[in-house]
Amino acid sequence: MRRSVLKFGGSSVSDFHKIKNIAEMLKRRVADGQQLIVVVSAMGKTTDELMANVNHLTTAPKEQELALLLTTGEQQTVSYLSMVLNDIGVKAKAMTGYQAGIKTVGHHLKSRIANIKPELFERSFQTNDVLVVAGFQGINDDDEITTLGRGGSDTTAVALAASNQIPCEIYTDVEGVYSTDPRIYKGAKRLEYVSFEEMMEMSALGAGVLETRSVEIAKNYNIPIYLGRTLSNKKGTWIMTRSELLEKKAVTGVALDKNMLHITVSHPLPDNHLLTALFNKLDKGSVNVDMISQIINIEGLQMSFTIKDSDLGQINGILDSLCQEFKALDYKINEEYVKISLIGSGMRDISGVASKAFITLIENDIPFYQTTTSEISISCVIDAEHGDEAVARLSEAFNI
């Protein structure tokens, strides 16, 4: 029996008409002899609506209660989809995260999947052809409901694919992976294949199609991911191991991350306790730090780093409390920066990518303030106002 995991995001299940169409598509797949695990998110704006309700009640909801509340969104979607499937003659069963045995560890709202028992699915497939699983959620060792944080439903899908050793198809409202955002640069091309590594850089760097974590899991378990538009006949993009990719271009894509904050911390003395305290607090608050640059010179300590803009509330609290401990501390949060990145599997083989990128930015009068590199990417922090132009100029320069 051929099996796959299929995942449909919130915008793909935003109304009952769409849910019915997805059910019909799944029915055809089952008629074709397949058994499916289908992961769905909360319908459309459900999560936002629940959050709006919370804001009527408290400004600081307890994380445990918030997770319990938000997970009702997916629980409703799986119920609806499974009802429709059964109604049209497909044997289907709806499962919440904990019913699917998704055990998590960590913060209630940013949990990580610890393990999944594939036996449970094996058993359920004996009497069902489609298992509809709530994305984004799990249960921890204290039997408390948790959520997986940003992009959590993708993580659920890929983790289920990994534990069952079957491929994963992720359906969303984009056609696949593009060399860069087509809304920013019209010349962007859809990629037929990308490597896990390239995709990870693209996600981490804000291409916004698929979260890094899920690609990481797929890479570790060597689970190919297909990324395509919901109910579209157009081809999407396969994400797979680099060794299976024939052509390795120096630069495959350009990504622009607008959802970031740039923080600069300075202190007149080179005090390492300060850095330890800062990173301790960031870790406790589950704030993910991206680019880090640190300098110690005669003016003392200076450090810049970037985080997601959704962590603004957290970082304000952290820096305030740090100022209590370190009186001479000075900091600046800049919301007007964006990060532009070049990604390519072939980059490690090809010299000159960095210099070509810098030259392109300089020739176009685009100043850059911080640079980091990985094996297959180069990222620069630039002014938000130059973001779109930088995407276009770099896409041209690298012919992507």
Give the SS3 label for residue 44: coil
Closest distance of CB 112 from a second copy, Å: 21
Distances (CA, A) of 248 to 6, 101, 206, 344, 348: 28, 39, 22, 8, 10
What are 236's two structure tokens?
């999407």
Binding residues for a second copy restricted to 121-160, rule: CB under 8 A: 143-145
Closest distance of CB 92 from a second copy, Å: 8
Interface with a second copy, residue 24, by CB under 8 A: no
Interface with a second copy, residue 25, by CB under 8 A: no
Kindly give the pairing relationship between strand 130-134 and strand 34-40. parallel
Stretch that binds a second copy, among 80-88, 184-192, 232-240, 349-357 (CB under 8 A): 80-88
Looking at the Cβ atoms of 118 and 300, the one nearer to a second copy is 118
Interface with a second copy, residue 30, by CB under 8 A: no
Interface with a second copy, residue 21, by CB under 8 A: no
DSSP string, 101-118: T-EEES-TTS-EEEE--H
Inter-residue contact 137 to 152 (CB < 8 Å): yes
- Name which position in 93, 249, 281, 386 contacts a second copy (CB under 8 A): 93
CA–chain centroid gap for 46, Å, is 19
CA–chain centroid gap for 269, Å, is 38
Question: What value does the CA radius of gyration of the chain take, rounded to a whole number of Å?
Answer: 22
| Helical residues (DSSP H) of 133-211, grouped into ranges | 152-164, 196-204
Interface with a second copy, residue 115, by CB under 8 A: no
Closest distance of CB 84 from a second copy, Å: 5
Inter-residue contact 115 to 97 (CB < 8 Å): no
Kindly give the pairing relationship between strand 289-297 and strand 300-308. antiparallel
Looking at the Cβ atoms of 50 and 312, the one nearer to a second copy is 50
Stretch that binds a second copy, among 53-61, 172-180, 213-221, 320-328 (CB under 8 A): 53-61
Closest distance of CB 389 from a second copy, Å: 45
Interface with a second copy, residue 20, by CB under 8 A: yes
Interface with a second copy, residue 186, by CB under 8 A: no
* 253 closest CA partner among 378, 73, 115: 378
Structure letter (DSSP) for residue 32: T
Could you give the CA distance from residue 186 to residue 174 in angstroms, rounded to a whole number? 15
- Name which position in 30, 39, 84, 188 contacts a second copy (CB under 8 A): 84
Interface with a second copy, residue 62, by CB under 8 A: yes
Total residues at interface with a second copy (CB under 8 A): 36
Interface with a second copy, residue 258, by CB under 8 A: no
What are 296's two structure tokens?
């110690």
Phi/psi for 128 (5° steps) reads -135, 155
* 203 closest CA partner among 190, 213, 189, 193: 213
Closest distance of CB 61 from a second copy, Å: 5
Interface with a second copy, residue 47, by CB under 8 A: no
- Name which position in 3, 11, 45, 50 contacts a second copy (CB under 8 A): 50
* 262 closest CA partner among 338, 372, 366: 338
Interface with a second copy, residue 72, by CB under 8 A: yes
- Name which position in 33, 56, 233, 349 contacts a second copy (CB under 8 A): 56
Closest distance of CB 77 from a second copy, Å: 9
- Name which position in 64, 286, 288, 314 contacts a second copy (CB under 8 A): 64
Structure letter (DSSP) for residue 287: P
Closest distance of CB 171 from a second copy, Å: 20
Interface with a second copy, residue 51, by CB under 8 A: no
Interface with a second copy, residue 45, by CB under 8 A: no
Interface with a second copy, residue 83, by CB under 8 A: yes
What are 224's two structure tokens?
């190919």
Distances (CA, A) of 154 to 75, 296, 315: 16, 40, 26
Looking at the Cβ atoms of 62 and 258, the one nearer to a second copy is 62
Chain residues that interact with a second copy, rule: CB under 8 A: 16, 19-20, 50, 53-54, 56-58, 60-62, 64-66, 68-69, 71-72, 75-76, 78-80, 82-84, 86-87, 93-94, 96, 99, 143-145
